[in-house]
C-alpha cells in the first residue's frame, strides 16, 4: 500500500474526532443486553450523563418529560431494515434528531444523533423542527402539482398567552415542542406538517388518508404533563379542500383562505372548527384589506392581462387571444378573478380596469405582430365591462390606443355583453359604430343567454358572435344544447359573422364544432389563460407545428 493510500485510512480516533467536530454522535442499542452505547459529541448533545453506555431506563429518564413516549419508540424492537427518525429533547439540551436503522433481524439498532439544525437547515422552525411558514408554502406548491384531493388544515392553539403567563415562556415552549413532535408523528409520507406562526400548526395531506382535521385534533389535544402541571391543550381548526394538478390553486391563497376559516372557528370558543366558504370573504376586516390592496394594485402594476388562445377550427392555427385580467398579489399570490372583479365593480374601478386591459393588450399584440409576421391577422379580444360602453371617453381612448400601438384595423376586438346592448339599443348601436370606425372589431359575448330580439342583431355592427361555454360543454350530452350551437353557427354564417365557441375542453368537442362549421374554438382543451411570455411560446409552437396543441381532457 502506498503512503498516499495510508493517509486516506480512518482509524477509530479520527472517526471520534470527526464526530465531535460535527457536533454529532453515533449510537448503538442492543435490547437483549439493555444497553445503549454512544461515541462522539455526547456532552454538547445532552448525552454526557449517559456516555459511553447506559440502560434503556436511564436513557428514558434523561429525556425531556414530554418526549419520553417518543424515546420509548426508539427502544422498541423492530424488523430488520426499519428506519428510525425521531426528534428528542434531552434535559437541558436542544432538540436533536435521531436517525438510524434496525439491523440483524431486529437484534440491534444503530444510527447517528445531531442537533436538528444540522439536519434540517434554515427551512425549519427552531423550536419544533417542523417546516416553517416559507418552506411550508413551497412544499404545498410542489405537492399540489400531483393530481388528487387534498385538505389543508390549520390549528390555532387556544390560550397560548395564558400558558405563557402560568408556566413562563420556557415551559410554554416545551408544550409547543411536544405538540410539534406529536404532529410530526401523526403525519408522514405525503403529508406536510408545519409550524406557521407562534401558536399555529398546519398540515397538507391527501384526503384519501382520512379526515385530516380529525387526525390533527387527535394528535394535538392529548393531555401532557409539564413541570408538574397537567396540560389539556385545545385547538381551533380551519380547513379548506382543494385539488392538485395543473390548475391547482396558489399555496399562499389557500393558506389565506384556511386562516379565514380559523378566525371563524375561534368565534365559536375553544376547540371550534370551520371550513372555508365564500361567505367568509364577506368578513368586514378582510374586505377592507382587500379593497385597499385592490386600489393599490392598479398603482403597483399588479393587475395584468393573461391570454387564452382562440384557435381556427378549420386550420388548427392560433387566430388570436382573449385577454383576461389577473391579479398577482405580493402576499396572496394569484387572486382568482371571481374574488376581485365583483369588488372592482362595487368600488367603481371597472372603467380603470378596462382601460388598463385595452392598453396593455394592444401593446402586447403589436409586439407579437412585429416579431411573428407569419402569424397573419392575429387579433386580441378584450372584454368591455358592464356599463363601459356608456363611458364618455371610450371611443377616444380606443382610437388613441390603436394609433399608439400602430395596430392594423380590426386587430383589437372588443367584446360586449347582451345586457349592455339591451339597456339602450339605439345608443349602443351609435357607440359600436364609432368604435368600429376607430379601428376596433366587435364581438357579442355569451350569445344565446339573454338576447331578446334577433332583429337588433342585424342592425348592430358586430363581426363576431361568441357562444356561451355552457352550450358547448353540454352539446355532446344534451340535444337542446347541440341544436342551439348549430343554430347560432348557422345564424352567424347567414349574417356574415364569425362564430367563436367557448368551453372547448377536449378534441371531441372540437370535432363536433368543426362538423357544425363553427369558425373558432377557445377553452382549456387548448390552453388556459397564459402569462404573456407563455402565450408567445404557445403561439410559437403553433406556428412551428402548423396547428395548436389540444389536450384530451374531459368536459
What would the pLDDT profile of 104-142 be if each residue is shown by its tens digit?
A: 777 899 999 988 666 545 577 888 888 888 888 888 887
d(CA 160, CA 164): 6
What is the reported pLDDT for 428?
86
> What is the predicted pLDDT for the residue at 8?
45
Q: Which of 1, 4, 39, 2 is nearest to 22 (CA)?
A: 39
* Cα gap 294→469, rounded to integer Å: 29
CA distance 243 to 145: 9
Residue with grid cell 465531535, as numbered in its chain: 20
Backbone angles phi, psi at 88, to 5 degrees: -135, 150
C-alpha cell at 125: 422552525
Q: Does 555 have pLDDT greater than 50?
A: no
Check if the beta carbon of residue 98 is closer than 8 Å to that of residue 27. yes
260 phi-psi bin (left φ>0, alpha ψ -120 to 50, beta other): alpha
Whole-angstrom Cα Rg for the chain: 32
Q: Which residue has the higher pLDDT, 175 or 286?
A: 175
Buried b (16+ CB within 10 A) or exposed e, 445-479: bbbbeebeeeebbeeeebbbbbbbbbbbbbbeeee
- Rounded to an integer, the average pLDDT of 491-512 is 91
**Dist CA 199 CA 158 (whole Å):** 8
pTM of the model: 0.52
Angle of helix 425-437 relative to helix 394-405, nearest 10 degrees, comes to 20
Q: Decide if 114 contacts 97 (C-beta within 8 A).
A: yes
Question: Is the confidence at residue 420, as pLDDT, over 80?
Answer: no
- Find the mean pLDDT for residues 190-216: 89
* pLDDT at res. 278: 73
> For position 4, what pLDDT does the model report?
41
Amino acid at each position: 500500500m502506498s503512503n498516499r493510500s495510508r493517509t486516506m485510512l480512518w482509524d477509530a480516533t479520527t472517526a471520534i474526532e470527526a464526530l465531535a467536530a460535527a457536533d454529532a454522535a453515533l449510537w448503538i442499542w442492543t435490547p437483549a443486553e439493555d444497553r445503549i452505547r454512544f461515541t462522539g459529541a455526547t456532552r454538547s448533545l445532552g448525552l454526557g450523563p449517559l456516555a459511553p453506555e447506559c440502560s434503556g431506563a436511564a436513557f428514558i429518564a434523561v429525556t425531556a418529560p414530554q418526549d419520553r413516549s417518543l424515546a420509548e419508540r426508539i427502544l422498541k424492537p423492530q424488523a430488520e431494515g426499519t428506519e428510525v427518525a425521531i426528534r428528542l429533547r434531552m434535559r437541558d439540551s436542544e432538540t436533536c434528531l435521531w436517525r438510524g436503522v434496525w439491523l440483524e433481524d431486529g437484534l440491534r439498532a444503530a444510527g447517528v444523533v445531531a442537533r436538528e439544525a444540522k439536519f434540517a437547515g434554515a427551512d425549519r422552525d427552531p423550536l419544533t423542527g417542523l417546516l416553517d411558514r416559507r418552506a411550508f408554502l413551497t412544499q404545498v406548491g410542489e405537492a399540489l402539482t400531483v393530481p388528487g384531493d387534498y385538505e389543508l388544515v390549520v390549528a390555532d392553539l387556544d390560550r397560548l398567552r395564558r400558558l405563557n403567563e402560568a408556566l413562563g415562556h420556557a415551559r410554554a415552549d416545551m408544550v409547543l415542542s411536544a405538540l410539534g413532535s406529536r404532529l410530526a408523528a401523526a403525519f408522514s409520507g405525503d403529508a406536510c406538517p408545519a409550524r406557521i406562526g407562534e401558536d399555529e400548526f398546519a398540515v397538507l395531506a391527501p384526503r384519501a388518508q382520512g379526515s385530516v382535521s380529525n387526525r390533527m385534533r387527535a394528535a394535538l389535544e392529548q393531555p401532557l404533563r409539564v413541570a408538574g402541571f397537567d396540560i389539556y391543550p385545545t385547538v381551533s381548526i380551519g380547513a379548506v379542500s382543494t385539488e392538485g394538478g395543473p390548475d391547482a390553486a396558489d399555496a399562499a391563497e389557500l393558506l389565506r383562505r384556511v386562516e379565514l376559516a380559523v378566525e371563524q372557528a375561534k368565534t365559536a370558543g375553544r376547540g371550534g372548527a370551520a371550513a372555508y366558504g365564500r361567505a367568509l370573504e364577506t368578513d368586514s376586516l378582510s374586505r377592507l384589506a382587500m379593497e385597499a390592496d385592490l386600489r393599490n394594485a392598479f398603482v403597483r402594476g399588479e393587475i395584468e392581462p393573461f391570454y387564452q388562445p382562440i384557435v381556427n377550427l378549420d386550420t388548427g392555427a392560433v387566430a388570436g387571444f382573449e385577454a383576461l385580467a389577473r391579479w398577482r398579489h405580493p402576499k396572496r399570490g394569484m387572486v382568482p378573478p371571481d374574488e376581485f372583479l365583483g369588488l372592482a365593480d362595487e368600488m367603481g374601478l371597472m372603467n380603470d380596469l378596462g382601460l388598463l386591459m385595452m392598453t396593455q393588450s394592444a401593446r402586447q399584440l403589436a409586439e407579437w405582430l412585429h416579431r411573428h409576421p407569419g402569424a397573419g391577422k392575429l387579433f386580441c379580444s378584450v372584454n368591455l365591462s358592464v356599463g363601459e360602453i356608456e363611458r364618455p371617453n371610450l371611443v377616444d381612448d380606443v382610437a388613441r390606443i390603436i394609433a399608439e400601438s400602430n395596430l392594423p384595423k380590426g386587430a383589437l376586438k372588443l367584446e360586449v355583453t347582451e345586457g349592455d346592448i339591451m339597456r339602450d339599443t339605439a345608443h349602443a348601436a351609435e357607440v359600436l359604430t364609432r368604435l368600429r370606425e376607430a379601428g376596433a372589431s366587435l364581438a357579442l359575448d355569451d350569445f344565446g343567454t339573454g338576447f331578446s330580439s334577433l332583429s337588433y342583431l342585424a342592425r348592430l355592427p358586430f363581426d363576431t358572435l361568441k357562444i356561451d361555454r355552457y352550450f358547448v360543454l353540454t352539446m355532446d350530452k344534451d340535444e337542446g344544447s347541440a341544436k342551439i350551437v348549430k343554430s347560432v353557427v348557422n345564424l352567424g354564417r347567414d349574417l356574415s359573422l364569425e362564430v367563436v365557441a367557448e368551453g372547448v375542453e377536449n378534441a371531441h368537442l372540437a370535432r363536433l364544432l368543426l362538423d357544425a362549421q363553427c369558425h373558432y374554438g377557445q377553452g382549456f382543451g387548448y390552453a388556459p389563460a397564459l402569462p404573456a411570455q407563455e402565450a408567445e411560446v404557445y403561439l410559437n409552437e403553433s406556428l412551428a407545428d402548423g396547428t395548436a396543441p389540444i389536450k384530451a381532457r374531459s368536459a
